[in-house]
Amino acid sequence: MNQDLRELYQEVIIDHGRHPRNFKKLEDHSHSQEGYNPLCGDRLMLYLKVEKNRVIDAAFEGVGCAISMASASLMTSQIKGKTLEEIQQLFQAFHCLVTTPEPPASIQDCLGKLTVLGGVRDFPTRIKCATLAWHTMNAGLDSKIHEQAVSTESSTDLSEESSTGEGKEQPVER
């Protein structure tokens, strides 16, 4: 990637990180899910309004690094108006973008601005920052999963993280 393009991508990430789009509580949401990255401290609450298998609106609240906030901002903008099937295809394409050493060029076509986050593949610890919002969205769309926060550490059960209560997630009002 040439230096000018890398700088442009960095500017987009910084802009969305500092001034995230769709950063609000969506009062009339039909789905919500909390997500947490214990390695970095990123935490977000994702709100989705779904009607007839289509995301009508999406928003989030939370705190985190520039990459996690930019990813949530770009993701919520990108999924509005999409069907649940289209969103799953976006998830797969995004996951490929950030985890595959040389993703196919066709991935960039379907991801639009989300391609700016492709550089995280070179920094394995940052991949979880970039994918937190996406995994949170998947869990939020699965009506069976709402009892606890989604963690980027899939083997960690946040409700049993410590017997002292440290790291425990509190139930989220739905």
Coil, strand or helix at 100: coil
Contact, 35 vs 132, CB < 8 A? yes
Q: Which helix (H) or strand (E) holds 34?
A: strand 31-37
Coil, strand or helix at 161: coil
**Given this model, what pLDDT does residue 10 score?**
87
Q: Which residues of the chain have pLDDT under 70?
A: 1-5, 8, 143-147, 154-174
**Given this model, what pLDDT does residue 157 score?**
39
User: What pLDDT digit, counting tens, does each position of 69-95 carry?
Assistant: 999 999 999 999 999 999 999 999 999
**Given this model, what pLDDT does residue 7 score?**
74
For the sheet with 42-51, list strands across it: 54-63, 42-51, 31-37, 150-151
What pTM did the predictor assign?
0.83
CA distances from 156 to 149, 152, 161, 167 (A): 11, 9, 7, 11
For domain 3-160, give the fold: Sufe protein. Chain: A (3.90.1010)
